[in-house]
Amino acid sequence: MNAKPDVRLPAVSVIMPVLNEERHLRGAVEAILAQEYDGEMEVVIALGPSTDRTDEIAAELVREDPRVHTVPNPTGRTPAALNAAIKASRHPVVVRVDGHGMLSPNYIATAVRLLEETGAQNVGGIMHAEGENDWEHAVAAAMTSKIGVGNAVFHTGGQAGPAETVYLGVFRREALEQQGGYNEEFIRAQDWELNFRIREAGGLIWFSPELRVSYRPRPTVKALAKQYKDYGRWRHVVARYHEGSINLRYLAPPTAVCAIAAGLVVGAALTPWGFVVPGGYLAAIAAGSVPAGKGLPLKARLRIPVALATMHMSWGWGFLTSPKSLARKVIASRKPAVVTAD
């Protein structure tokens, strides 16, 4: 920790929503505190109602370093946690980090430089998925392949430039305050929705492969399926709430679900030719898993098609079954919570 922060650099507030993060919380916070950044910094952890040792670990971190603070988030919802942490923080640059995300050592310094160089309201980089066992390695490979997530540069990498959205994000505080923070009705997809509003107001969202956050994938098929079902469900809500925010990449999974379901019905009831579509899909993900799994152990490579199918089918099913009532709730809350610092 620097005794005398460099006042020529903007002070930074790192905000972190956490819920049941005992496995990764200490490592995530220690990666923040070890940043190669000479400006002033604080970390605000918004604590949801965890049922594991998350609160205990957070209390230890507060005792160990005066830069770490906590605020309560009784709802357990991510956007509410983010708004609570923003309100409790005080610096002009706001860095969002999750409790299972590990910042690269120069992440904050690079992000602050990019904010200055580009004039962007929010900058972000690559969600670098890394596993700790065969299943997580498989999910990480699926999440960083184009067959898994299409052309989303924050998953697969790409050239620096303007973007629709970025992973997590490093914001100018005035942009967050101008937009009223995160819309707390968006249980998922709140980042995409906020970035859409920033862009609609004329702000620039900037992607750079220089920024990298290590991400720990969901540990089971069931957890991955729920994650991607929620992604699809809430991405449809964004599409209903913000006209013109959808594109072909987001329509691919629900189209695949419908085509495979139709093929199975036709194949079972009418003609074996109906099985061509689901058979072709299985062949495609099996072939796509080969380059995605390069360098991984055999057990991990064999799990990649399962991870890909889980992601695609769950996202598509969530999109197709997203109830219109969710959009009505969101539209009823068009004025997000004000999150100016006290």
Residue pLDDT, tens place only, 152-183: 665 556 789 999 889 899 999 999 999 999 98
Q: What is the pLDDT of residue 124?
A: 94
- Residues making up the chain, counted from first to last: 342
Per-residue pLDDT band for 1 (boundaries 50, 70, 90) equals very low
Q: Tell me: the pLDDT tens digits for 264-286?
A: 999 998 888 989 999 999 999 99
Residue 294 corresponds to which tokens in the numbers above?
């390069």
Say which DSSP state 337 is in.
Answer: P
Res. 71: pLDDT tops 70: yes
Q: What is the pLDDT of residue 204?
A: 97
Residue 324 corresponds to which tokens in the numbers above?
């219109």
User: What is the CA angle 219-142-184, rounded to 5?
Assistant: 65
Mean pLDDT of 8-13: 95
Q: What is the pLDDT of residue 212?
A: 87
Q: What is the Cα 21 distance to its own chain's centre?
A: 16
44 strand-pairing partners: 15, 69
State the sign of the Cα–Cα–Cα–Cα dihedral 252, 213, 293, 224: negative
Q: What is the pLDDT of residue 112?
A: 97
Lowest average pLDDT, out of 12-21, 27-36, 38-47, 244-253, goes to 244-253
**Residue 223, amino acid:** A
Burial bucket for residue 61 (CB in 10 Å: 0-12, 13-18, 19+):
buried
Do the beta carbons of residue 187 and residue 106 sit within 8 Å? no
Do the beta carbons of residue 289 and residue 305 sit within 8 Å? yes
State the virtual CA torsion across 259, 261, 266, 269 in degrees, nearest 10.
180
Q: What is the pLDDT of residue 70?
A: 97
The rounded percent of the chain whose pLDDT value lies above 90 is 65
Q: What is the DSSP string of 72-104?
A: E-TT--HHHHHHHHHHH---SEEEE--TTEEE-
Q: What is the Cα 187 distance to its own chain's centre?
A: 12
Rounded mean pLDDT of the chain? 89
State the virtual CA torsion across 157, 158, 159, 160 in degrees, nearest 10.
-40
Q: What is the pLDDT of residue 329?
A: 59
Tokens 């991955």 appear where? 224
SS3 for 11?
Answer: coil
Res. 41: pLDDT tops 80: yes
SS3 for 166?
Answer: coil
Question: Taking the chain, what is the end-to-end CA distance rounded to the nearest angstrom?
Answer: 26
- Compute the radius of gyration of the chain from its Cα atoms: 21
Q: What is the Cα 186 distance to its own chain's centre?
A: 13
Q: In this predicted model, which residue has the larger pLDDT, 152 or 321?
A: 321
Distance in angstroms (rounded) separating the CA atoms of residues 248 and 60: 47
Q: What is the pLDDT of residue 146?
A: 81
